[in-house]
Structure 1
Amino acid sequence: MTTLVRRRVWGPLVAFGVCAAVVLLAQVPYLRNRLFYVWDDSAVQFMPTWHHLGQRLVDGDWPPLLDVDGWMGGNLPAEALFGIWNPVNLGNYVLVSRFDDLALAALVVKSEILALLALGVYLVCREHGAGRGPSAVIAIALPFSGFTLYFDTATWVAGLMAFAWLPYTWWAARRAARGAASPLWAILFGALAVTTGNPYGLLGVCVVLGALLVENRLRRDRPALVKLFLIGGLVALFVPLVYLPLLGTSSVTMRAGQGFASDGILMPRLSDLLSMSMPSHRPMIRTFNLDYRLHTPGVYFAWFLVPLLPWLHWRRLRERWRELSGVFVVATVYALLAVGPSNMWMFRFPLRHLEVVYLAIGVLFAVAFTGGPRFDHVRRRVALTAAALVLSGYLTFAAQPWQWRQHLAALALLTVGVAVAVALARFVRPPATYAALVAGVAAALAMQTSWFPANLDVAAYGFPRSVSELKRQALPHEGTTFPVGTVLPGNVGLVADLKSTAAYSGMSFREFGVATCMSYHGTTCPASFGRILAPTAVDGRPLVDLLRVGTIVVQNDVLPDVQPPPGWRIGDRTATHTSLRREQPLPWPGGRLSYASPGVRVSENVSPDDRDESVRFTKDRGPGQLVFARLAWPGYRAEVGGRELTTRQGPAGVLVVDLPADVEGGEVKIRWTPPGLGLGAALALAGLLGAVVYALVSRRRPRRERPAPAAEAPQDLAVANA
């Protein structure tokens, strides 16, 4: 009875301690660099868009499907990575919208996600038979490994959000397979991983469920195989909701780096794993600026892992290879993905796969280190640890010898830290060892954020952190703004109340980008000024009219001494930018209609929301057309009097509605619905109902629980090393 009470008390306490420790450690990078968590894509894409979406949710706009003022970045279902169907994502967006300081908002939300990840890692280690102490150590260390911290957390947070749900899916599916828990949890966690919208989440769910199938096939557990197939099938029903809109828009979009290629960018080598315990190691991996070395410790995992390898209970892994076979499968699959090729359809930059390799390695380490280190053949183990330290130190020194002081400090941490940890296990108790390992994680993090306070392998943007400051610094403008050069790249304009045609888009609208010379991150070339003012095939109207642009902002060093074209005037001229404004206001201010062909007379144009618009008109007999300042995303439907009209792309991909010759008046109604939304929503609802039914049915059946691997938690060293 006493043992049962201890288990029920200590389990939640340790789990809470893991989350609290990770939240505290997450403050260290922020204290070193207040912009650490708003770097690169987090600065120009994620945090501004989260703030904007959160405000729309607060205003009652759910689900936020289309942002017409976002142009290339406004098709949110096609972008996918914002995870508009994930309830945790949406809650975080609302939370971010309550902040004025985006750096502080990023700190709060990303600390939460790191703690969520750590708890999942702890649970999956425990599920595989590791003790509480080693599981907690790995759970605290993994969120601060090199790639997870400097890339996923600081910049590509959509990857972090997808990765955070992977250990939960693994833990819940394995428990369900052995009859220890309801399958409902595995399905829900798998759905959360899928609905983050990041394809790496879907890939992870597939690999983990596949690995569990291999594990239970080796165990010849047919009931478990049936459960896993059902779980996988029900999770798969959530996939169309997320990815059908993306596939349905592929005919008009393009993605940078899509296809199969190998350019070497962010491609690690398996030999880099030899230095995964050196906090100062900068691996020889090609970067975006074509440098031959990362500026961050991108392959770092945990300072203690390599030095403690000689002290592990390796026999335990060999004896339990069937129970751990799923872990070996995950490690093998992701190790192969991590070495390339660099581009495989939606999956780019193989370094991203390394964190899942580390998750699997961490589970194996936690299992083998349960009970503390071994103490037979002590001299041999000391010699092997010394050799590992020398080899790691030499490889790190060889990669960048001019930073030898950092390498010496890192090597001192490893040497002293391992010696203290082993001594505490020998002369005190294993819990003291685990505390020392966590203290070393904090020390290594402090070193790294001092040496590498920011990720210089990606773009740095010097925008103010304050939303109110961004609004104050926004250039004066009227209506929609077209930038020439770099004004506010990406989606920063969303929080600066700037309706800009520029947007950061993972899936760029091909015709719009080509016609305006706009890149996927929202910057334009000098030629864009002439392109938007040149006549188009729509009655010779310039593109700037079809886009309903009211202000053109030109970066002076991109296009010096710009002069206003006819119908425009200079609004403001500063040392860095020149803004041009229209001399006359645009017609039809109530909607987005930008052109009506000769003979078409518009009496009213209303756009009540981003997805809907209506135009009342009369016209002479004969064909006509209406052009709207909307991108012609697949999914638009137009009708007049119940009769469906033809919609198509015009110049730069704007929406054109053709009016039949025999229609002389009426009201054109336009509505946009993402391709596949109805089918995807129906399948997701079926998956949710199926999960509930399956969970209820499984409760009525007698539970056939297969015992979990016993986690060794000896009370003293004699038991630990027996």
Structure 2
Amino acid sequence: MTQLARRALPAAAVVLVVALLAELPFLRNRFFYVWDDSAAQFLPTWHFLGDRLAAGEWPVFLSVDNWMGGNFSAEALFGLWNPVNLANYLLVSRFDDLALAGLVVKTEFLVLLALGAYLLCREYDAKPAAAAVIAIALPFGGFTLYYDTASWVAGLMAFTWIPYTWWSARRVARGVGSPLWPFLFGALAVTTGNPYGLLGVCAVLAALLVESWLVRDRAALLRLVLVGVLVALVVPLVYLPLLGNSAVTERAGQGFAATGMLMPRLSDFLNPSMPSHQPMITTFANPTRLSVPGVYFAWFVVPLLPWLDWGIVRQRWRELTAVFVVFGGYLLLAIGPSNMWMFRFPLRHVEVIYLAFGVVFAVLLSAGLRTDRTRARVLVTTGALLFTAYLTFAAGPWEFRRHLVSLALLVVGTALAVRLANTRALHVVLVAGVALALLLQTAWFPKNADVAQYAFPRTVSELRADDYQGTTYQVGSVVVGNNGLLLDAATVASYTGMGYRKFKQATCMNYLGTTCAQGLDKLLEPTEVGPPLIDLMRVETVVVQKAVNPNPVTPPGWRVERSNDLVTVLRRTGDIPWPGGRVSWTDAGLSADRSTDTREELRVDRPGKVVLARLNWPGYRAELDGQPVDVREGPAGLVVLDVPKAGSLTLTWRPPGLVPGLVAAALAVLGALALSAVTVVRRRRFG
């Protein structure tokens, strides 16, 4: 076996083991990876975007039929500039079974996360076996598995690139790596669109700057600053559209607040090793505790602490400075307010805490377990196990049988680990314990009951509902979130974190696309331009959930298409005017109307007012025979044009800040290539 193959073997083992372990939650619960936001928002949208990409439409900035949730550039969360995301959207679009698609994509990112953690541990001189143990354990930490992977997958995608950015940036600081790599990994973290990715990049680069400053390495400081500037140039491309739409949108939870929601206490981090521990943290569904082991890291962490050589930390503290800075900074964030600007639910920071702590643990484990003063170490370990077992019991005494099984795993596993100390079998025992703990947890906690329990179809083909024809408005929650994107019809309901404020108020619609019982009544009220909103939106079908409104009014020009115990379906009897475009009302003379999501072409025969069935997102521009025409906000935020004369009218849209964002990103790419070329030349010239 070549030296390269021997070096790659542990990394390959990490990939294989994590890929296999990732199947266990799926085998226990087929919908484990399609939960909460993954069910309502991410997977349906990925499938939709993948279909659009396959049809040659990129970038997919806007879907006007998706109304509040259709401004994908403003959402930022879908990473339209991230090539890994886009490749996965194409992949998901090939699946009919969304549960299986979720398994494939999320397994991919768990594997990538593990490989990144392995490389980072190796960068700090952890031995391959020790680095592999931490790398395998990290993806199956309680928060990472049950929250980021099962539900809030954009967080997993962002977190995945943090260890790679850290690893490659530290190599550049040491003068042995190309600056192109931290730029690429940092850009991947930023372009996921999740602000926690941007925060992570800033944190690791700042921590490495502190480390370089302590050792007075000016060259390292300069290299890190240049990398940071290049990554920062990518930020406008992702976040300028979000900021540009802030005037018309609203996002829940912004600002600073302390509601208690998913706010861990410092004491919660004393128990990261008991697989059955459900900490006393407020959740969406329970005001007292998590339904899953949300602060769990790895079974071996607490039991093995007394057996590690902590003198190594004292000897190597300077080179571990960045690790301590990241650990301390994120610990402060984790126990901080529940809302800090764009960052909500501080429990989300726990996985970066465990990444940093995992590096230290891998470094210490690489030196082997201490076998001197055995009696004292046994006593300390026993005390630690009993203390963590008591904390677990105190949080959920009625689950004492689970806690006894967890304690038995820790006792037996620790005894085997100490017995096999400083042998190759030690690491096998540690990984086997990770697998066994995961088996127990997926049996005890087959789903995350802390988040929304959405009902959704098993396959995309099941969503081809006959009730939904043309533009469809629903009263209630018949189709949840962005699952409407998978219908042949254009459903107004959508999931969005950046709702159009005026439209939301006018339609009585929340961020899930669910409407109140009075939703249809609000659409039938006359508007400031005359016709009711149901006409201005070009609605062709209304699906009313019986549980919300058992006896909906049938407006003039409509009929009851179908009624059963679940829904009443109303359908328009007449044709929608201007079928080739989105004009919904006008007192001007129109002889032509053609449209795409981002463009509308009209032929106006006499002056007047034109209302279009599209939301007036910032970024619209209208021209009449080459001369600008004002675009204003009409009823419910719809686009209104006041046309002064006859002529050819063109309406176009592009995301706010797109051009400066593209210019900045192009400069970043050119700068990264130039810096990498300079680095290569200098190394060849000066060795």
- In the superposition, the TM-score normalised over structure 2's length comes to 0.99
| Counterparts of 2:567 and 2:683, CA distance in 1 | 73
- Structure 2 residue aligned with 1:382, among 375, 378, 384? 378
| Counterparts of 2:552 and 2:129, CA distance in 1 | 66
Where does residue 564 of structure 2 map in the other structure?
Answer: 574
Are 1:654 and 2:638 matched, yes or no?
Answer: yes
| Counterparts of 2:613 and 2:157, CA distance in 1 | 34
Partners of 2:309 and 2:367 within 8 A in 1: no
Partners of 2:469 and 2:489 within 8 A in 1: no
Question: What pairs up with 1:307-318 in 2 under 5 angstroms?
Answer: 307-318=303-314
Are 1:99 and 2:95 matched, yes or no?
Answer: yes
Question: What pairs up with 1:664-675 in 2 under 5 angstroms?
Answer: 665-675=646-656
User: Which amino acid is 1:698 matched to?
Assistant: T
Question: What pairs up with 1:304-703 in 2 under 5 angstroms?
Answer: 304-425=300-421, 429=423, 431-471=424-464, 474-538=465-529, 540-597=530-587, 600-607=588-595, 609-619=596-606, 624-660=608-644, 663=645, 665-702=646-683
Partners of 2:77 and 2:193 within 8 A in 1: yes
User: Which amino acid is 2:603 matched to?
Assistant: R
| Counterparts of 1:129 and 1:383, CA distance in 2 | 31
| Counterparts of 2:686 and 2:531, CA distance in 1 | 72
Give deviations 1:430-466, integer Å, cap 9, x for gaps: x210111000000000000000000000011221221
| Counterparts of 1:534 and 1:563, CA distance in 2 | 13
Where does residue 84 of structure 2 map in the other structure?
Answer: 88
Partners of 1:180 and 1:705 within 8 A in 2: no
| Counterparts of 1:30 and 1:191, CA distance in 2 | 31
| Counterparts of 1:314 and 1:658, CA distance in 2 | 74
The change in CA–CA distance for 1:705 and 1:133 in structure 2 (over 3 A counts) is farther
Partners of 2:468 and 2:487 within 8 A in 1: no
Once the 2 structures are TM-superposed, how far is the Cα of residue 705 of structure 1 from its aligned partner? 11
Where does residue 717 of structure 1 map in the other structure?
Answer: none
Once the 2 structures are TM-superposed, how far is the Cα of residue 583 of structure 1 from its aligned partner? 1.4
Partners of 1:477 and 1:550 within 8 A in 2: no
Partners of 2:544 and 2:568 within 8 A in 1: yes
Q: Percent identity?
A: 61
| Counterparts of 2:551 and 2:504, CA distance in 1 | 25
Once the 2 structures are TM-superposed, how far is the Cα of residue 475 of structure 1 from its aligned partner? 4.5
Where does residue 212 of structure 1 map in the other structure?
Answer: 208
Give deviations 1:544-569, integer Å, cap 9, x for gaps: 11111001110011011223011111
Partners of 1:148 and 1:160 within 8 A in 2: yes
| Counterparts of 2:451 and 2:89, CA distance in 1 | 24
Once the 2 structures are TM-superposed, how far is the Cα of residue 257 of structure 1 from its aligned partner? 1.0
376-385 or 51-60: bigger deviation: 376-385
Partners of 1:179 and 1:705 within 8 A in 2: no
Question: What pairs up with 1:164-183 in 2 under 5 angstroms?
Answer: 164-183=160-179
Once the 2 structures are TM-superposed, how far is the Cα of residue 259 of structure 1 from its aligned partner? 1.1
Where does residue 254 of structure 2 map in the other structure?
Answer: 258
| Counterparts of 1:157 and 1:479, CA distance in 2 | 31
Question: What pairs up with 1:263-278 in 2 under 5 angstroms?
Answer: 263-278=259-274
Partners of 1:178 and 1:704 within 8 A in 2: no
User: Which amino acid is 1:270 matched to?
Assistant: L
Once the 2 structures are TM-superposed, how far is the Cα of residue 619 of structure 1 from its aligned partner? 1.1
User: Which amino acid is 2:247 matched to?
Assistant: S
Once the 2 structures are TM-superposed, how far is the Cα of residue 10 of structure 1 from its aligned partner? 2.2
Question: What pairs up with 1:161-310 in 2 under 5 angstroms?
Answer: 161-310=157-306
Give deviations 1:361-406, integer Å, cap 9, x for gaps: 0001000111321111111111111111000100100111000000
Question: What pairs up with 1:106-117 in 2 under 5 angstroms?
Answer: 106-117=102-113
| Counterparts of 2:684 and 2:147, CA distance in 1 | 43
| Counterparts of 1:477 and 1:311, CA distance in 2 | 63
Once the 2 structures are TM-superposed, how far is the Cα of residue 521 of structure 1 from its aligned partner? 1.1
Once the 2 structures are TM-superposed, how far is the Cα of residue 704 of structure 1 from its aligned partner? 11
Partners of 1:68 and 1:630 within 8 A in 2: yes
| Counterparts of 2:66 and 2:449, CA distance in 1 | 28
- Specify the SS of the correspondent of 2:132: helix
Give deviations 1:341-368, integer Å, cap 9, x for gaps: 0011110000000100000000010001
Where does residue 148 of structure 2 map in the other structure?
Answer: 152
Aligned length: 687
| Counterparts of 2:449 and 2:143, CA distance in 1 | 13
Q: Which aligned runs of 4 or more in structure 1 are off by greater than 4 angstroms?
A: 703-706
| Counterparts of 2:502 and 2:684, CA distance in 1 | 58
Once the 2 structures are TM-superposed, how far is the Cα of residue 486 of structure 1 from its aligned partner? 0.5
Give deviations 1:502-524, integer Å, cap 9, x for gaps: 11001110001011110011100
Partners of 1:557 and 1:576 within 8 A in 2: yes
| Counterparts of 1:115 and 1:106, CA distance in 2 | 14
Partners of 1:178 and 1:705 within 8 A in 2: no
Once the 2 structures are TM-superposed, how far is the Cα of residue 289 of structure 1 from its aligned partner? 2.7
Partners of 2:285 and 2:449 within 8 A in 1: no
- Structure 2 residue aligned with 1:30, among 26, 39, 43? 26
Give deviations 1:149-171, integer Å, cap 9, x for gaps: 00000000000000000000000
* Root mean square deviation, CA, Å: 1.3
Give deviations 1:26-50, integer Å, cap 9, x for gaps: 0000000000000000001000000
Once the 2 structures are TM-superposed, how far is the Cα of residue 603 of structure 1 from its aligned partner? 0.7
| Counterparts of 1:688 and 1:477, CA distance in 2 | 45
User: Which amino acid is 2:663 matched to?
Assistant: A
Give deviations 1:225-283, integer Å, cap 9, x for gaps: 00000000000000000000000000000001111111000000111111110000000
| Counterparts of 1:9 and 1:559, CA distance in 2 | 66
Once the 2 structures are TM-superposed, how far is the Cα of residue 9 of structure 1 from its aligned partner? 2.4
- In the superposition, the TM-score normalised over structure 1's length comes to 0.94
Once the 2 structures are TM-superposed, how far is the Cα of residue 135 of structure 1 from its aligned partner? 0.6
| Counterparts of 1:550 and 1:668, CA distance in 2 | 26
| Counterparts of 1:658 and 1:205, CA distance in 2 | 47
User: Which amino acid is 2:552 matched to?
Assistant: V
Once the 2 structures are TM-superposed, how far is the Cα of residue 477 of structure 1 from its aligned partner? 3.0
Partners of 2:469 and 2:488 within 8 A in 1: no
Partners of 1:78 and 1:249 within 8 A in 2: yes
